[in-house]
Amino acid sequence: MRSVEVSPGIHWVGAVDWNLRDFHGYETPRGTTYNAYVVNGETQTALVDTVKLPFVPELLERMRTVIDPADIDVIVVNHVEPDHNSGLPEVMEACPNARVVASRSGVQGVAEYHNGLKVDAVGADDVIDLGGKTLHFMPMPMVHWPDSMFTFCPEVCTLMPNDAFGQHVASSQRFADEIGLDFAFEQLGIYFANILMPVSKPVSKAIDKIVEAGWECKTIAPAHGLLWHEQDVPRLLETYKRWCDGHTVPRAVVAYGTMWGSTDTLGRAVADGIAAEGVEVFAYDLADSLISDVTYQLLESRALVLGSSTLHHGMLYRVAGYLQWLAGLEPKGKLGAVFGSFGWGGGACKQMAGRLGEIGFEMPFDEFTVKYRPTNEDIEAAVEWGRAIGRAVKER
């Protein structure tokens, strides 16, 4: 297995998880990588980040193309979540001479996760001199765990920010421009929407800290997915800031669950009405769609229009599950509306509206409900209801 030099003296030695399809509820149809980096100085060598436990042999095999793991002097733990940290004890065993460092919160996290394992704390004032290369540290609490930390090597202008700027993509290519920037930025957005949306403020502050510290980043090497070359860094930072600031475009997402097709018919009519007002719209049947893709489109949308048939006096479970997913992501500043069909008794729309309101959606529209199959008049009314939502999206 080959390593890849990503900056002068810095090699990617991570692992490719081609078969990951679920990341605690976030669908990952393109797999992921667990990125780790060997930083070679003149007198010492560091390993920045480790990998998920089953992939430790792959990590060590790649490391051996650069250095004998026994010759590693420093291991940096940027984040203690298991996809990066669960293999730490096995890596330490292969690197018996290495000092292990983490943020102060990371020291506690490593000890708690690994039954009292002790590592050293580093902070913003600490520098590790590798000889000709130095490692600088910046604790970044809640980007996206309390222990998160960025590591920077100024001599080659390389930032290793762990989960920030990452994506869940398995690839034989290492850099975003090698696989296609449009694809890479789409995957960046899916990752941000489904993982980092609730911590947008800390992420925004992290970008400000990088600028204030004067860190010139010519290579950004995250812990998941593709890396970023110098020419793409300005667009990368601008895109992240836009998402952190809650920037929206005239767009609405229509998402629904249906039993016998009536709510699907209504959803299509509502989407047509929104589009008739010149507003971009994406419509999803939640039984057939990846919630990670739905949430990506919601990221810069101004409205979510949620529909469900009524079952047992409530909404369908896929709709309820999506609402639970959104509750954890805490989207801000968006309009909400609900629609659906029912048979002998209703209830779904009341539940959906209540849950959307609890999450923080503004709910200025009356619910739109139809009993049994929608008539032509019902469909026309759904289109008009959608047009009203479209006008509100444009005015927002």
DSSP 187-239: HHHHHIIIIIGGGHHHHHHHHHHHHHTT---SEE--SSS-BB-GGGHHHHHHH
Choose one of 197, 212, 244: the last residue of a domain: 244
Range of the domain at 171: 4-244
pLDDT at 346: 87
Mean pLDDT, to the nearest integer, of 70-82? 98
Per annotation, catalytic residue among 49, 58, 147, 163: 163
Give helix 181-191 / helix 233-244 axis angle, nearest 10°. 30
Shared domain check, 236 and 321? no
Residue range 274-292: mean pLDDT, rounded: 98
- 366: helix, coil or strand? coil
Q: Is 247 a catalytic residue?
A: no
Catalytic residue among 224, 264, 284, 378: 224
> Which is the catalytic residue, given 11, 79, 84, 168?
79
Distance CA 209, CA 149 (A): 12
Q: pLDDT grade, residue 1 (50/70/90)?
A: confident
Same domain, 316 and 260: yes
Residue where a domain stops, chosen among 215, 244, 273: 244
Instruction: For residues 237 and 279, state if they share a domain.
Output: no
Residue 345, pLDDT score = 83
The question of whether 163 is a catalytic residue gets the answer yes
Q: What is the CATH number of the domain that holds 231?
A: 3.60.15.10
Instruction: For residues 139 and 66, state if they share a domain.
Output: yes
Annotation marks residue 144 as catalytic: yes
CATH of the domain at 320: 3.40.50.360
Question: Is there a single domain that holds both residue 177 and residue 274?
Answer: no
Same domain, 294 and 236: no
pTM comes to 0.96
209 and 257 co-located in one domain = no
- Number of domains observed in the structure of the chain: 2
| pLDDT over 90 at 347, yes or no | yes
Q: Is 81 annotated as catalytic? A: yes
